[in-house]
Amino acid sequence: MSGRGSLMLHCRVSDIRSQLGRRETKGSEKRLWWRASRSSATSSPVSLAFLKSERCTPFQFPNVNRATIPYIHHFITFCCRFLVYPNDSEGNPFQEELVPLAVQSPALLHAMAAVAAGHLSRGQNQHQFAAAKHYSLALRGLTSTLSDSASAKSDATLGACLLLCVYEISHSENGLWQQHLQGARDLILYRGGPKTTDYLSRFFSLLDVSGSLFAGGGPLLEGNYWLDDDIPNSPEGNKARSAIPNWPAYDPEGDNENHFHILMTFMARMSRLSAEALAVDADPVKIKVAAAEIRADLNRWWLSCPDDLKEQSNDWRQQVREENLTVSQTLQEEGMSSIRSCMFGCVIYLNHILNPVFREPRSPEVSEAIKEILEIARETPEGYGLEMGLYFGLFMAGIAVFNETEEEDLLRSKLKADQRVSIYHADRALELLEVLWGRQHRYGVKYDWREVQNQMGIQVVPIKSMLAWIEL
């Protein structure tokens, strides 16, 4: 072929999905076409086109270096689907709304490439340099963008900032994720504040609340800003709803999403209380009263949840049914398992604030929460734990067990991430638990994981990805 010819790569998302060994969402016939102008110089700029077959509208990415193409491809076909929810293939706003904005935003383009290269580098070291290069270019682009007030308010700028946070979470070992998250907060405030109908605001809230559980001090924005005001005329009466319709597609009514957003309100309260309890002048009586109030409210909410959720059997995958569950129904069930695991994790977290080193015997409800989390984990197929949100519960179970080798072995195996099914991993969370368990076995006393965390100088942060969690 002559140097002036053209190069076409046709990739069907479902093909990528099957290669990764994941379940395919029915009805997802989205296709990506990449067209690159060919030249004799391999390093010459190329033009990348992104089309969606249902609209057949091309998005040209001018002057994209040929070496960057595989990373943009990986971000679109894989990373997008696991940023927030698992197998989020239909109506994904990161694919449909954010990616096209990179046409006019070098910062966003390089942030996308950095996340993709960072993920690939976990199994292939040759991508390390590209990840660092694109991260640096994205930072430079953001600095330039922020000098313009209109650009600073754009989705492209906020999206780039959040993706750099994801990069630090999933790839780096330092705490720069906090700086990027604070920057995203400032951008959201500059845009007029968070909106529950905005997918980027939702993404921020998940990072914010989950991060606050381990960074301490509560979320970066005040109030339960991820919830809408009560809807007085709903069939169930006043009910705070915050789901974006049909995102993810397998939760069209937003039931699971709304349940988790309510659970986030308790996480935020626990985060603030944990920070207060660690203060030098903390009042133990006040802390105990506040913890009791949170526990009572959490129990009241849980009892009000549908029976299908709170009474879900841990072995629901093994139950005999007249008809097999559809893909959407399966993902809904897995989402409910995740909510249950996170709720039990909250029970452990709250008890840990009051009794971190077992000066009193371990509470029976903590033992029951550990049991439920481990049973859910045993029934969850390998590779599904991180993307479906079991890791927050698993980590909480890990900090609560005391010289229980069988439970530690199970947690150790379940906390190992499979890079083929998630962009996030739990390496440093497991590293912290190994140190914690080692000390407890060596000295025969219970340690507070927060003290171990500070001594190790690392952060572990859960994040919901329907309902996933990630560690930093």
Q: What does the H/E/C string look like for 299-334? A: HHHHHHCCHHHHCCCCCHHHCCCCCCCCHHHHHHHH
- Regarding whether 265 and 119 lie in a shared domain, the answer is no
**Token couple for 265:** 């309100």
Tens-digit pLDDT profile for residues 229-252: 544 434 444 455 666 777 888 888
* Mean pLDDT score of the chain: 81
Task: Assess if residue 348 is contained within a domain.
Answer: yes
Task: Assess if residue 15 is contained within a domain.
Answer: yes
Indicate the range of 4-18, 36-50, 77-91, 435-449 predicted with least confidence. Answer: 4-18
Indicate the range of 94-103, 231-240, 404-413, 436-445 predicted with least confidence. Answer: 231-240
- Regarding whether 259 and 153 lie in a shared domain, the answer is no
Burial of 182 (0-12, 13-18, 19+ CB in 10 A): middle
Tens-digit pLDDT profile for residues 104-151: 999 999 999 999 999 999 888 899 999 999 999 999 999 999 989 999
pLDDT at residue 298 is higher than 50: yes
pLDDT at residue 13 is higher than 80: no
Instruction: Identify the CA nearest to 353 among candidates 461, 454, 274.
Output: 274
- Regarding whether 266 and 157 lie in a shared domain, the answer is no
pLDDT, residue 211, reads 86
- Regarding whether 425 and 303 lie in a shared domain, the answer is yes
Span 9-13, average pLDDT: 37
334 vs 184: which has the higher pLDDT: 184
Give residue 460's pLDDT band: very low, low, confident or very high (50, 70, 90).
low
Task: Assess if residue 284 is contained within a domain.
Answer: yes
Task: Assess if residue 411 is contained within a domain.
Answer: yes
pLDDT at residue 295 is higher than 90: yes
Q: How far apart are CA 398 and CA 411, in angstroms?
A: 7
pLDDT, residue 380, reads 83
* Host domain of residue 80: 6-161
Q: How far apart are CA 206 and CA 17, in angstroms?
A: 25
Give residue 24's pLDDT band: very low, low, confident or very high (50, 70, 90).
very low
| Residue 205: HSE in the Cβ half-sphere, 13 Å Cα cutoff | 28
Tens-digit pLDDT profile for residues 262-282: 999 999 999 999 999 999 899
- Regarding whether 145 and 274 lie in a shared domain, the answer is no
Of 146, 161, 176, the position where a domain reaches its end is 161
Q: pTM (2 decimals)?
A: 0.83
Q: Are 257 and 265 in contact (CB under 8 A)?
A: no
- Regarding whether 419 and 313 lie in a shared domain, the answer is yes
Percent of the chain with pLDDT over 90: 51
Of 106, 141, 161, the position where a domain reaches its end is 161
Indicate the range of 36-40, 105-109, 420-424 predicted with least confidence. Answer: 36-40
Q: Which residues of 60-71 are buried (b: 16+ CB within 10 A; e: fewer)?
A: ebeebebebbbb
Task: Assess if residue 184 is contained within a domain.
Answer: no
Task: Assess if residue 41 is contained within a domain.
Answer: yes
- Regarding whether 408 and 282 lie in a shared domain, the answer is yes
Report angle CA 198, 221, 347 to the nearest 5 degrees.
95
Q: Are 392 and 398 in contact (CB under 8 A)?
A: no
Task: Assess if residue 12 is contained within a domain.
Answer: yes
Span 74-78, average pLDDT: 91
pLDDT at residue 35 is higher than 90: no
Task: Assess if residue 246 is contained within a domain.
Answer: no
- Regarding whether 405 and 294 lie in a shared domain, the answer is yes
Of 161, 182, 214, the position where a domain reaches its end is 161
Task: Tally the domains of the chain.
Answer: 2
